A and B are shown apart, each in its own frame.
Chain A
Amino acid sequence: MSNDFYQTSIAPFSGIIIKICRAYTDSQEDYEDYYQEVCLQIWRSRNNFKDKSSWSTWIYKITLNVCMTLLKKKKNNRNHFVSDTNIQEQISESSAFPDENLNILYDAIKKLSEIDRAIIMLYLEETPYQEIAKIIGTSANNIGVRVKRIKTKLKKILDGKID
Chain B
Amino acid sequence: MEKSIETIWKNGFLKEDSLVAPKVNNLYNQKSIHIIDKFKRMFKINLISIVFFSLGFLIVTYFLDLLITGIMFSIILMALVFINKKLLENLYKLDKGASCYEYLNKFNSWMSHQINLNKKFARYMYPMIFLSIVLGFWFHDAEGVYLGQRLVEELSYLIPNAPIYYGVPIILFLPFLAIFFLLYYFGGTIYKWDLNIVYGRVLKKLKTLLEEIETINTIK
Contact = CB atoms under 8 A, between A and B. Distances in A.
Contacts of B20: 18
B161 interface: no
A5 B2 CA distance: 42
B219 A2 contact: yes
Interface stretch (B9-17, B110-118, B175-183, B184-192): B9-17
Interface stretch (A62-70, A98-106, A129-137): A98-106
A35 B26 CA distance: 11
A162 B19 contact: no
Nearest to A154: B5
Nearest to A16: B19
Interface stretch (A36-44, A52-60, A138-146): A36-44
Given A2-B216, A36-B26, A162-B3, A17 B21 contact: yes
A102 B13 contact: yes
Nearest to A29: B30
B37 interface: yes
A31 B22 contact: yes
B96 to A, nearest CB: 9
A41 B3 CA distance: 36
Contacts of A6: 24
Interface in B1-44: 2-3, 5-6, 8-9, 11-13, 15-22, 24, 26-27, 30, 33, 37
Interface string A5-41: 1100001001101110000000000011101110110
A104 B8 CA distance: 10
Chain A interface helix/strand/loop/mixed: helix
Nearest to A14: B21
A37 B209 CA distance: 13
Interface residues of B, number: 27
Q: Of residues A35, A36, A124, which shows the largest number of chain B Cβ atoms within 10 Å of its Cβ?
A: A36
Contacts of A17: 21
Contacts of B93: none
Interface string B184-220: 0000000000000000000000000000100010011
A71 interface: no
A63 B19 CA distance: 16
Contact of B27 (A37, A97, A98): A37
Contacts of A36: 22, 24, 26-27, 30
Contacts of A5: 219
A82 to B, nearest CB: 10
A33 to B, nearest CB: 7
B5 A151 contact: yes
Nearest to A43: B216
A105 B27 CA distance: 29
A85 interface: yes
Contacts of A155: 5
Given A36-B26, A40-B27, A85-B33, A99 B12 contact: yes
Given A18-B19, A98-B18, A102-B12, 19 more contacts: A1-B24, A2-B219, A5-B219, A17-B21, A31-B22, A32-B26, A33-B27, A36-B27, A84-B37, A85-B33, A97-B12, A97-B13, A98-B15, A99-B13, A99-B15, A102-B8, A102-B9, A105-B12, A162-B2
Interface of A: 1-2, 4-6, 11, 14-15, 17-19, 31-33, 35-37, 39-40, 44, 84-85, 97-99, 101-102, 104-105, 124, 151, 154-155, 158, 162-163
